[in-house]
Amino acid sequence: MMTEPKYDELEENNPHLDKDKPYPLSGLLVVDFTHVLSGPTCTRMLADAGARVIHIERKTGDDTRHMGPYIEDGSSEYFRICNAGKESIALDLKDPKDHALVEKMIAKADVVVENFRPGLMKRLGFGTDEMVKKYPKLIFASISGFGQYGPWSKQAAYDTIVQAVSGLMDATGTPDGKPTRVGTSVSDVVAGIMGYSADCTRCS
């Protein structure tokens, strides 16, 4: 087990953090439907910039809650890194009461971020077109591996798959060796960063 970092001390001793200055996204509300890495990277950066981010999880929790490494209290450090600075609530989006609660949250939100397979949010009753029409000020960001349309849009897009089809794995490793996965999930992280920058461009 890992020892939990002393986050309060790290924050207090950070010479680059000036709490007297407002964060750039202070006052914005983000409803976060994301899971695993690409989407949570985006919304964690929004939280880092001062937005209030409410992370909606399944009843069983985000997948990363069950991924190591784990700290002394048994919680996932992977999950904590991806979701630092957020609030979290577990809901069943197919339950009418939970569905109604989420609708109320979206009505008050400035930004919605999701990274499900294309079409799932619409089937749940929270499709982009419907939500933006009902709430015109809403910024709705969808992160996907192969876009929202086209022949590959429904395909799963885990980081390793994207590294393979993009040719990144072929460019990694030794010249005469097999294609090699980059150690970190660089495709997911870059997707999250691009989602964050797109959201911030709209917010500004």
Annotated catalytic residues are 188
DSSP for the chain, written as a single string: -BPPP-HHHHHHT-TT--TTSPPTTTT-EEEE---TTHHHHHHHHHHHTT-EEEEEE-TT--GGGG-S-BBTTS-BHHHHHHTTT-EEEE--TTSHHHHHHHHHHHHH-SEEEE-SPTTHHHHTT--HHHHHHHSTT-EEEE--SS-SSSTTTTS---HHHHHHHHTTGGGSS-TTS-----SS-HHHHHHHHHHHHHHHHHH-
Whole-number Cα distances in Å, 155 to 43, 62, 152: 23, 21, 5
CA distance 25 to 136: 19
